Structure 1
């Protein structure tokens, strides 16, 4: 851990928090999860839970540091933590700019990105103003650091895009298309709305036959939880889906009874 120190109370966009410098590299700044939780109107334990569930996404020493597991008692005391709070806490997380940006993806609240932009401009990037080249070699060093930082930010954005593309769910229009496809499929299987099979089996096909197979295939607990990347495959699955043979025989038998009833009436 490099030169970790409390730089005092900071205020950005009306939010007050503890400024901490170092830890992730010379001159870098970090934010305590305690302060981030308060800014986003979340209890600290809740944000810690979200981080712990997604801990594999955070790189130790780059995105996150657990201050509780390091010899930083002075830093914690200076940060406003009482000794009994420190002793009782298993996790006292410090996030870098990159770590904070990853946390935002997990929080997904309405104001998250607006707040993040303000903190990037008003807090994390203040280290740039403090760095002034004193020699040609300093200029080259800062120039290279700027390229590295841009590369890291691009990497974070690419990670976000990949994660978004992988995990975003279907739109409301696509939900409607799924609903229409499954109802159309069930209607086709029973032979139409006026058949005996429609009265006996239509609802069961939708809820007890088609959906369990759909849930197992796409690992979702409801249709609208389907991932957007699986939408085309899901439509194809519904269109080609068939119940077990026993159900098909029962449907055929039920509809044949309708035909017999009509003949006997005639």
Structure 2
């Protein structure tokens, strides 16, 4: 694909989903999935991404996306780390360079009236961009998914809760390998409660509520009766 971080397409500065995946060292399919999630959640986002194709090394046509500056900002805002910061700074530099080139080609305003009109126009655009950026930040905070560390924390809490409810690794219920039933039930209830199919689909805004849910989860009556009954059998044979 292109060696340039930012390219010009249809008189607009853009980058591609392939370039984002390459620089951020992510799978292209994951980047594509994130873009599709963004466009599905808000129709206004659709204009920031344009679906296209490229030919891979096996000479097969594959899907990809072009994205403008706003689309790029939405996509990578949740990416963290030094590499992510370096890439964002390089992108800003490349975008500014491209804008300077466009202005040079189109010519700068000469008369005082033209300069005043341009200043007013830029001020209005900046105000709109600041307002939109604030909305975008809020949107991303509310819709971005939990990271691997947060997912691991939830899974650890789930294991701790289940082990406590079944009486620990020394309980008869655990030794007889019934514990999978409890793991299955807590996961099923969790997914229903937060309307997700996998732990990694949980939104960051729901992370604290998810931890509280797991800590306070309790098995249904029939399952609790089963746990108590099997553990009681152990007590009677001791």
Q: Is this a same-fold pair by TM over 0.5?
A: yes
Contact 2:5 2:91 in 1 (8 A): no
Quick one: structure 1 residues 64 and 235, their matched pair in 2 at CA, closer, same or farther if it must change by over 3 Å?
closer
Report what 1:253 is aligned to: 229
Please give the secondary structure, in 2, of the residue aligned with 1:220: coil
Q: Is the 8 A contact 2:17 2:67 kept in 1?
A: no
- Give the deviation of 1:261 after TM superposition: 0.7
Does 2:179 align with 1:205? no
Over 3 Å counting, the alpha-carbon distance change for 1:167 and 1:48 in structure 2 is: closer
The unaligned stretches of length 5 or more in structure 1 are 1-10, 22-28, 67-92
Distance 1:167 1:144 in 2: 34
Does the 8 Å CA contact 1:209/1:243 hold for their aligned counterparts?
yes
Q: TM-score, normalised by structure 1?
A: 0.61
Q: 1:58 to 1:131 in 2, by over 3 A?
A: farther
Asked whether the equivalents of residues 13 and 98 of structure 2 are also in contact (C-alpha less than 8 Å), the reply is: no
Q: What do residues 103-149 of structure 1 show as CA deviations (whole Å, max 9, x unaligned)?
A: 66699996863553133211134344555333332121011112122
Residues 15 and 181 from structure 1, CA distance in 2 versus in 1: closer, same or farther, beyond 3 angstroms? closer
Task: Give 1:217's match in structure 2, choosing from 193, 205, 210.
Answer: 193
Residue 48 (structure 1) shift: 9.5
Q: Structure 1 residues 64, 183: closer, same or farther in 2, change over 3 A?
A: closer
TM-score (norm 2): 0.67
> Which shifted more, 137-146 or 162-171?
162-171
**1:178–1:235: 8 Å Cα contact kept in structure 2?**
yes
1:15 pairs with one of 1, 4, 20: 4
Question: Which of 222, 225, 233 is equivalent to 2:209?
Answer: 233
Query: CA 1:174–1:48 in structure 2 vs 1: closer, same or farther (change >3 Å)?
Result: closer
Distance 2:50 2:200 in 1: 37
- Are residues 99 and 189 of structure 1, via their aligned partners in 2, closer, same or farther at CA, if it must alter by over 3 Å? closer
- Structure 2 spans left out of the alignment, 5+ residues: 23-28, 52-64
* Pick aligned residue for 1:30 from 5, 8, 12: 12
**How many residues of Structure 1 are paired with residues of Structure 2 in the alignment?**
214
**RMSD of aligned Cα (Å):** 4.2
Please tell me whether the aligned partners of residues 13 and 95 of structure 2 are also in contact (alpha carbons under 8 angstroms). no
Is the CA contact 1:101–1:116 (under 8 Å) kept in the aligned structure 2?
Answer: no
